[in-house]
Chain A
Amino acid sequence: MSARITPEVVSKVARLARLTLSDEELERATVQLAGMLDQFADIDALDLDDVEPMSQPIPLANVLRDDVELRSLDRDEVLAAAPDAEDGRFRVPPVVGLAE
């Protein structure tokens, strides 16, 4: 499977994960990811066609609670822990208008 792991694939994955890799990091990540996927090939031979996926350990239905007001976090305290805030809101650089 790891034949598919090329620097282009890793570069795309890094972009999806919002990470920037230097050329050297990209090269190393490609080798490491390919190596790991080689190790993970042990499950390739398993016949899993009729196996139900298991996404959590304890079977749970929707967990509901009564629709009552609860105290939420203190806004000022939350904003005080943020990198930047203004007028009771998180402050960020422009979202649109600047081309990448």
Chain B
Amino acid sequence: MPDSDATVALTAQAIADGVRAGTTTAVEVVERHLAEIDRREGEIHAFNTVLADAARARAAELDAQVERGADPGPLAGVPVALKDNMCTRGVPTTCSSKILDGWKPPYDATIVTRLRDAGAVIIGKTNLDEFAMGSSTENSAFGPTRNPHDTSRVPGGSSGGSAAAVAARFAAVGLGSDTGGSIRQPAALCGVVGAKPTYGAVSRLGLVAFASSLDQIGPFARTVHDAALLLEAISGHDPMDSTSIDQGPLELVAELDRGVEGLRVGRITDLPEGANPDVNARLEEAFDALRAAGATIVDVEVPAFGYGLTAYYLIAPAEASSNLARYDGVRFGLRVPAPDTNAMYMATRTEGFGDEVKRRIMLGTYALSAGYYDAYYGRALKVRRLIADDFARAYLDADVLLTPSSPSVAFAFGDKTADPYTMYLCDTYTIPSNLTGHPGISVPFGTGEAGLPVGVQVLAPALGDGLMFRVAAELERRAP
């Protein structure tokens, strides 16, 4: 990618070190990133809102802190791209949906507070598939985001805006949300690192809910180290999220240089087929790289892995149909006037939601409706258990597992929009860890078709985030 200025190529760690030491200023860093946004955002469309003035003011405030001898924190002056489904007080939060048109949240998401406490600068709110439902960012009400590596192709989704913003150096790091792969798949397609931590490691307060038992916030970065740094800063217990795990922040950075000597890396022998040959070739090279680094490769079976897609596409829409019932024109966003409340609900929702969101709401409503509940939602919850049990058995023999992140490199616009199920298959390898609550990370590992980035996914058991990052760091060191 063209590198217009060295400052925008800096890692979050380098920026924070420089700002804290006074060798660079947060204002300088922010200006350079805004210049990069000016140069290429018209082509990429990573953002729904660029917060140029707020970022400049925030940067000046951070520089004043440093001037006074205060330490702004581990992310001092680091520009962060925030997915536009995370609440920012007084700043539009759209979920890339018409139904939230004009809504300004009356509170900050917990991760926003933590970013501020760590000294970060929010540089903009990024585009997504409407309500995070999609794998290409083509479902945005505000138009698609384009992949910085090839603008005729999608960036992946649903966090395509954050992935593209980090790949295009509009921000040093970004945050996304991952319900079925929405961080890891766009990370793979945009050639950046993307991690979904263990469910409950990061507070969901202020993350607009899609499927509450699956949603988790996580980092995008251009290095594994930066992803670890950012995730450490936002993780840890939040009393305002009752599903938040009652423990301190994840410890990740200290794990990165430990290597993989003696670790058992699992190859899933009954992994569902469907990954392209270029992706499978990189995966094999990743196994070879870890073996060369001293790990042992072991074969494991996860027989229920392939049922993940079905379980997910019943459970996630079911939860979504319930969560999205709140968009009725009463309390926030769009209202389409009508003579009575019921007609107003119907008119507002019909006008405000896009096709994919309606499709999932209806699928979920069907799966939960009387007469079908046991056959669909009920059975899906049991399949979820089978998958969790299978992974638990696999982790008796392996410390981590390696799979593709995405079945293919970035695909062209319109390639998978004709049949919704074709798009759903993008999530085959990422979905199981949302169902189980386990962490997963996608690490860039060479290129495939048309010279486009390929990601390899490292999976670990619940709260194995440190181990997962350790393996990811080794893959990064040995990437082709």
Contacts and interface: CB of A to CB of B under 8 A. Distances in A.
A84 B102 CA distance: 13
B349 A56 contact: no
B361 A17 contact: yes
B329 A83 contact: yes
Closest 10 CB pairs of A and B: A57-B437, A83-B335, A53-B381, A63-B242, A54-B385, A51-B382, A77-B106, A48-B382, A98-B340, A54-B384
A95 B362 CA distance: 24
Nearest to A53: B381
Contact of A82 (B331, B375, B383, B462): B331
A40 B349 CA distance: 27
B385 A52 contact: yes
Contact of B213 (A9, A10, A32, A55): A55
B311 interface: yes
Contacts of A60: 242-243
Interface residues of B, number: 71
Nearest to B315: A55
Nearest to B333: A83
A71 to B, nearest CB: 10
B349 A81 contact: no
A55 B199 contact: no
A73 B407 CA distance: 44
A42 B103 contact: no
A82 B331 CA distance: 5
B332 A82 contact: yes
A29 B242 CA distance: 36
Interface of A: 1, 9-10, 13-14, 16-20, 29, 32-33, 35-36, 39-40, 42-43, 46, 48, 51-58, 60, 63, 65, 73-74, 77-78, 80-84, 90, 92-95, 97-98, 100
Contacts, number: 158
B307 A43 contact: yes
Contacts of B335: 83-84
Contacts of B104: 80-81
B310 interface: yes
Contacts of B420: 32, 36
B321 interface: yes
A82 B330 contact: yes
B307 A46 contact: yes
Interface majority SS on B: helix, strand, loop or mixed? Answer: helix
Nearest to B338: A93
Contact of A19 (B332, B343, B346): B346
Nearest to A5: B366
Given A33-B363, A43-B380, A53 B330 contact: no
30 contacts: A13-B369, A17-B349, A17-B358, A18-B342, A18-B345, A18-B349, A19-B346, A33-B359, A33-B363, A36-B313, A36-B363, A40-B310, A42-B306, A43-B307, A43-B310, A48-B379, A48-B382, A51-B386, A54-B435, A57-B436, A57-B437, A57-B438, A58-B245, A63-B242, A65-B239, A74-B106, A81-B332, A93-B341, A97-B340, A100-B343
Contacts of B462: 57-58
Interface in B319-373: 321, 325, 328-335, 337-347, 349-350, 353, 358-359, 361-363, 365-366, 369
Contacts of A54: 381-382, 384-385, 388, 435
B378 interface: yes
A17 B349 CA distance: 9
A18 B436 CA distance: 32
A36 B421 contact: yes
Contacts of A40: 310, 313-314, 376
Given A57-B388, A83-B332, A90-B330, 11 more contacts: A13-B362, A17-B362, A19-B349, A29-B362, A35-B421, A53-B384, A54-B388, A58-B462, A65-B239, A80-B104, A98-B339
A32 B358 CA distance: 12
Nearest to A14: B362
